[in-house]
Amino acid sequence: MFDQIIVLSSVTAAAGASAERIDMTDTNLVAAKISELKHVVSARSLIALPDGGVSGRCQVTGLPLVPKGLVTALAISEVAGKKALGLSSVQAAGLGLPAGSATASYTAVLLVSVAAADVTSGSPSASPIFLSSMTAADALVASAAQYYGTSGTPPNIFAARGSNAASPFVSVPKPETTWAVLVVDYNDTTRVVSLAVNQPDTFATATKTAAHLPGAGGYFEIGAHVNATASLRASKVGDLYLFEGSPLSNLLARTQISDLVAALKAEYSIV
C-alpha cells in the first residue's frame, strides 16, 4: 500500500501559538516544480518576536533563518495588504539564509517594495540592498539586488552586481508599482549578470570580470547587516525564491521561472 500526500489549497494547519509555520501557497507549488529550487523565504511565514526581531525557517529545507546585526530592528509589516519584511528603523540588520545558500551561480526571484523615503533619499550611497551575498565570516561579497533613488547615476533604478559589489552592474528602471518582481540571474561560467523587472522575457545584462566567491559556508542575506545605511533601509521584501545554478540557461527552467513570475504578479496584483 502506497502513502499519499494531499495538498489542500489555502489551508493552514493548526499549531501552537509559538510554532513556526511553513505555508504552501499556489505560487509555492509552481516554484516547487523547478528542480533548481534551493530556498524560499516568505514574510507571511515569519514570526514577530515580543521584544523585537523575527524568527522563521526556509520553506524548502526547514532550516532556521539567521537574524544578523541589530536583530531587534527586523520587523514585519503590511504593504498593500501583503506581509513584508523590513526594519523598524534604518539599522545594520538583515535576515540570513542558511549557511551554504550562496552558490557561485544563482537565480533569485524576489518581491520588493521601495519606500518613498528611499526613492527621494539625497545620498546615492543610501540605497537599500534587498539581497546580498556574504562569507561565513560575515564579509560582504556581492550586492545581488539593490535600488538607487533619484540621486543615483542613473536615477530610480533596480540594480544587480552579480559577483561582487563593484562595477559594472546591470540596471532596469523602477516601474510605478507598489510591489515589483525582480528576477536576478548570475552565471559564474559566463560571468553574465541578468536582471528583469515585472516580466521574465527581456533581461538587461552586464559581464563581470570577477567570479562570485562566497566560499564554504557563504550565505545569502535579505538586507546587508554589515552596513547601517545600505541594508533594507525603509524598503521591504515580501517573498524570495532562490535557485542554485543559472536556470535561465535551461529552456525548461526558464519557462518555469516565467510561470513563477506570472503567479507572483497575480498574487501581488502587479499589472
Q: Give the cell for residue 186.
A: 548570475
pLDDT band at 187 (very low <50, low <70, confident <90, very high): very high
**CATH code for position 32:** 2.60.120.200
Tell me, yes or no, whether 221 lies in a domain: yes
Tell me, yes or no, whether 191 lies in a domain: yes
Tell me, yes or no, whether 159 lies in a domain: yes
As a whole number of angstroms, the distance between CA 258 and CA 90 comes to 34
The string of pLDDT tens digits covering residues 226-270 is: 998 899 999 999 999 999 999 888 899 999 999 999 999 999 999
Helix (H/G/I), strand (E/B), else coil: 235? coil
Q: Which domain holds residue 50?
A: 26-267
Residue-level pLDDT at 26:
84
pLDDT band at 129 (very low <50, low <70, confident <90, very high): very high
Classify residue 266 as left (phi > 0), alpha (psi -120 to 50) or beta: alpha
Give how many domains the chain has, as a whole number. 1
Whether the CA torsion 89, 134, 96, 167 is positive or negative: it is: positive
Tell me, yes or no, whether 4 lies in a domain: no
Please report where in the chains the cell 539593490 appears, as a residue: 146
Residue-level pLDDT at 243:
97
Residue-level pLDDT at 86:
98
Q: Is residue 12's pLDDT more than 50?
A: no
pLDDT band at 25 (very low <50, low <70, confident <90, very high): confident
Q: Is residue 7's pLDDT more than 70?
A: no
Q: What mean pLDDT is reported for the chain?
A: 91
The single-letter DSSP state of residue 198 is S
Q: Is residue 146's pLDDT more than 90?
A: yes
Whole-number CA gyration radius for the chain? 17
Residue-level pLDDT at 20:
44
The single-letter DSSP state of residue 230 is S
Tell me, yes or no, whether 6 lies in a domain: no
pTM: 0.90
Yes or no: say if 94 and 221 are a contact pair by the CB < 8 Å rule.
yes
Please report where in the chains the cell 546587508 appears, as a residue: 224
Tell me, yes or no, whether 67 lies in a domain: yes
Which residues contact residue 255 at a Cβ distance below 8 angstroms, ignoring those fewer than 6 apart?
none
